[in-house]
Structure 1
Amino acid sequence: MAAPGENLRINSDRLWDSIMEMAKIGHGIAGGNNRQTVTDEDGEGRHLFMRWCDAAGLEMGVDEMGTMFARREGTDPSLPPVYVGSHLDTQPTGGKYDGVLGVLGGLEVVRSLNDLGIKTKHPIVVTNWTNEEGSRFAPAMMASGVFAGVLDQADVYGHVDKQGKKFGEELERIGWKGSEKVGDRKIHAFFELHIEQGPILEDEDIDIGVVTHGQGLKWLQVTLTGKEAHTGSTPMPKRRNAGLGMARVIELVHEIAMDYQPDAVGAVGHMEVYPNSRNIIAGRTVFTVDIRSPEKEVLDAMDGRIREGIDTICDALDIRYEIEQVGAFDPVTFDAGCVKAIRDAAERLGYSHRNIVSGAGHDACWINRVAPTAMVMCPCVDGLSHNEAEEITKEWASAGADVLFHAVVETAVIVE
């Protein structure tokens, strides 16, 4: 297939201005964004995106999960489209670039094609997946998971937020529950541009991350039950301290992750202590364990060692435990052809690049199950994300979008 010439670039000013305009919606108190899924702010961001798509001459479709598909027609409409995109929803204290760069970078691909008068054989569809973050309604990557057949649509409609509101009802309330059946679309290839959300590219002064794999993960919820007692009058040997048990598990998870470097990671995240009183020994703790690796064998080994370690810790402290697996997906190997298209684009454009493993979950990880898929990553300052201080440079965004443009257009096939 013919590759676009190295002089073809996206309009970096327009891309950056669009990102800044989207960031005005759900503006956070510390400079980031709070545009959580199926909130009024999410709805407002969707309307802005739709107006931009209309102006670019794209045909909008919306499925029953609220995912937006903006189509630029190809010269052969019967061919399956090349899809490009990410998500517009954010964490409650999120940044301006996580997900947004991928959606608006995809929009910039078709805007630039329009500017240059370039036609492609395959249609190109810019996509905004609903509820990638999972911050308001679990799980993360919800709409792409339903599309790929790994999550049940009726089930996720019933998932509730902290206020008891149901996802399906909130999606309908903001007016973005479409009529299109989920998962019916044929995908020739899917490309996602994303900030790295880690420090490697910036630390090594590299422009582009060519994502070859995605981390598999397991999420465990652990409940430790000891006995509440007075902190002052209970002898140390007599204590059944669930708080101490949690502390030892935190250290255990860290040590096990360190044994599987360089790619494995692990941490205890959400923590609850009961009764959480200054002068009562903790009788119960509930906390989550997050472990990740690009190798399934390593992930399973970490899981097994953590379970064995918890059993040993609890036996020594005379406390009980329960372990529930509350989330999991296997490691991802992205499509070799799509990965090559990204690497070739970076080389053609003269950008420094390296292979990288995505430590975070992304919509591309689910779509990879049903279509050839790959990801482009650009650096972010200090590797910081899921934080209002999340930051990238205009040059990083432009480099990522340039590579995305070339990979998408080469795959969609330029019509001479």
Structure 2
Amino acid sequence: MMKINETRFKSRMEQINSIAVTEDDGMMRLALSDADKAARDLLTGWMEEAGMTVKIDDMGTIYGTLKGSDENAKPICVGSHMDTQPNGGRYDGLFGVMAGLEAIVSISESGADVKSDLILADWTNEEGARFVPPMLASGVVAGQFEAQWVYDKQDVDGIRYEDELIRHGYKGDEANRLTDAKAYLEPHIEQGPVLDAQGKNCGIVTGALGITGLDVTVRGEANHAGTTPMSHRKDPMTAAAEAIVKIQKNCIDFGEPAVLTNGIIHAEPASKNIVPGEVYFSIDLRYHTDEGMAELERQTISIIEETCAAHGVEVDISQYWKARPATFHEAVVGCVEEAAEENGLDAMRMISGAGHDAVFINDIIPTGMIFVPSIKGMSHCPQEDTKEEDLVKGVEMTADVLLKLDALDI
């Protein structure tokens, strides 16, 4: 296994994680915020220090390239993201970027003859916490989204994505996008409990669940809480609550690995003594096949519509985001599996339940992922944690897989 500079790796992780720490010891590096810029500035400095050529694309994604020995060889890319959820964790996304950086630097310092250019990518707005939906930059590169559509996305304060790129000096050129490569590798924490619960120290990721995001708005009649008899109400809250309970049960009955989340719900007007006139709630649906996802979405929408009709209220349902289920390239997955076996890691094949930039990049470049365990499966929260030895093994695995990919004929 390629040996890394553990002190350097840990120091760089700590420096990034010292930026914008919350009262709960969580992270607050929302995409294209001042905190995100500070992290980006550190990263680009480390890239340049390592002799990498730094380029920025039109979505703000940073690419650091270490030249290979064969000008005709396709590049190999490794990376993830540094933006976080509000009050997020220390490792989600950041581990993949820092693992990629340390792996590339360690390979360079080892004197290994690498034919391919090695590229480190830090994708913009993977989380979608500030600019909705997630994975905007990788989505543009993969042809899922139009650049102008992304530029016009606004945060809750009405600030545009493009304006923040310009303000921070991270609006680059379309010509710098990653459009062709031999392979893309994304190291990541699992963000789930499987590896930790089974005592495994490496996940060989074969693909990812598809995700469908729905916006649901239920409209009834706002009225007085005391003078409006129950029999005369058109209450969207009651309809929404009943619908949520029903679609949750339906998802359970649909069977694993189907999951459904209602992350946001709010009423208008939001008053304790008014029957609301309108209720909004969000839906996040996930499943591992296109056919199953389509059927789960159909059933979910049908249940909501039937429930609202029974309550005499109207409903609008729109899809705000969709990522198809991903099956990663077997040759890349095989390199991860081979490296785990050679280095005596207790590994298992698994599907990711989370969305990653790798899901979109998989559409244009042969892709694979490495998972390291998350203690108790905690993620997107200050309690997110991974054992130090698992982080180090993950970085060493990343370096080994990059070398295997360089030798591989895909």
Normalising by structure 2, we get a TM-score of: 0.96
Match of 1:218 among 212, 218, 237: 212
* Distance of 1:183 and 1:55 partners within structure 2: 22
* Paired residue type of 1:326: Y
Q: Partner residue of 1:191?
A: 185
Say which of 118, 132, 136 aligns to 1:138.
Answer: 132
State yes or no: 1:307 paired with 2:306.
Answer: no
2:318 to 309, 313, 324: 324
- Secondary structure (helix, strand or coil) at the match of 1:308 reads helix
Q: Secondary structure at the match of 1:159?
A: coil
Alpha-carbon shift at residue 106 of structure 1 (Å): 0.2
Deviations 1:186-211 (A, max 9, x none): 21100000111111111111111111
Q: How much does 1:310 deviate?
A: 1.2
Higher deviation after alignment, 33-42 or 182-191:
182-191
* The one of 274, 279, 282 aligned to 1:280: 274
Q: Letter of the 2:71 partner, please give it.
A: P
Percentage of matched positions with identical amino acids: 34
Name whichever of 114-123 and 331-340 sits farther off. 114-123
Shift of residue 182, structure 1, vs aligned partner: 5.1
Q: How does 1:397-416 map to 2 (within 5 A)?
A: 397-413=391-407
- Stretches of structure 1 that go unaligned for 5 or more consecutive residues are 1-5
State the match for 1:11 in structure 2.
5
Q: 1:230 corresponds to which residue?
A: 224
Structure 1 residue 40 corresponds to structure 2 residue 34:
yes
Q: Deviations over 1:39-67 (max 9, x none)?
A: 22111111111111122111111111111
Q: Contact 1:30/1:389 (CA < 8 Å) preserved in 2?
A: no
Q: Distance in 1 between matches of 2:241 and 2:174?
A: 48
For residues 282 and 205 of structure 1, the distance between their equivalents in structure 2, rounded to whole angstroms, comes to 49
Counterpart of 1:29?
23
CA separation in 2, counterparts of 1:140 and 1:263? 21
Change (3 A) 1:192 1:290: same
Per the TM alignment, residue 276 of structure 1 is displaced from its structure 2 partner at its CA by: 1.9
Match of 1:273, SS?
strand
**Counterpart of 2:339 in 1: which secondary structure?**
helix
My pick for the range that moved more, 225-234 or 259-268, is 225-234
Out of 365, 380, 388, the position equivalent to 1:386 is: 380
Code of the aligned partner of 2:184: F
Match of 2:105 among 111, 115, 137: 111
Q: Which residue identity lines up with residue 356 of structure 2 in the other structure?
A: H
The reply on whether 1:297 has 2:291 as its aligned counterpart is yes
How far apart, CA to CA, are the structure 2 residues paired with 1:229 and 1:182? 56
Among 201, 206, 210, which residue is 2:200 paired with? 206
Q: Structure 2 residue aligned with 1:175, among 164, 169, 172?
A: 169
1:51 and 2:45 correspond = yes
Are the aligned partners of 1:122 and 1:413 in contact in 2 as well (CA < 8 Å)? no
- 8 Å CA contact 1:260–1:298 kept in 2: the answer is no
**d(CA) in 1 for partners of 2:338 and 2:256?**
26
Please provide the CA RMSD for this pair. Answer: 1.5
Contact 1:64-1:178 within 8 A present in 2 as well = yes
Which is worse superposed, 173-182 or 296-305?
173-182
Give how far 1:180 is off.
Answer: 4.6
Q: Tell me, in whole angstroms, the C-alpha distance in 2 between the residues paired with 1:252 and 1:405.
A: 47
* Greater Cα shift, 332-341 or 150-159: 150-159
8 Å CA contact 1:71–1:125 kept in 2: the answer is yes
> Deviating runs (4+, > 3 A) in structure 1?
182-185
TM-score relative to the length of structure 1? 0.95
* Whole-angstrom distance in 2 between the partners of 1:233 and 1:267: 35
How many angstroms apart in 1 are the aligned matches of 2:247 and 2:206?
A: 26
Checking the alignment, whether the CA contact within 8 Å between 1:12 and 1:394 is kept in structure 2 is no
CA apart distance, 1:320 = 1.1
- Cα distance, 1:267 vs structure 2: 1.5
Q: Could you tell me which amino acid in structure 2 is paired with residue 74 of structure 1? A: G
SS in structure 1 at match of 2:264: strand
CA contact (8 A) 1:80 1:187 kept: yes
Deviation at 1:28, TM superposition (A): 2.2
Determine if contact 1:102/1:192 at 8 Å carries over to the other structure: yes
What is the number of residues matched between the two proteins? 408
SS at match of 1:366: helix
Aligned to 1:249: 243
Which secondary structure state, in structure 2, belongs to the residue aligned with residue 222 of structure 1?
strand
Q: Answer whether contact 1:212 1:356 (CA < 8 A) is retained.
A: yes
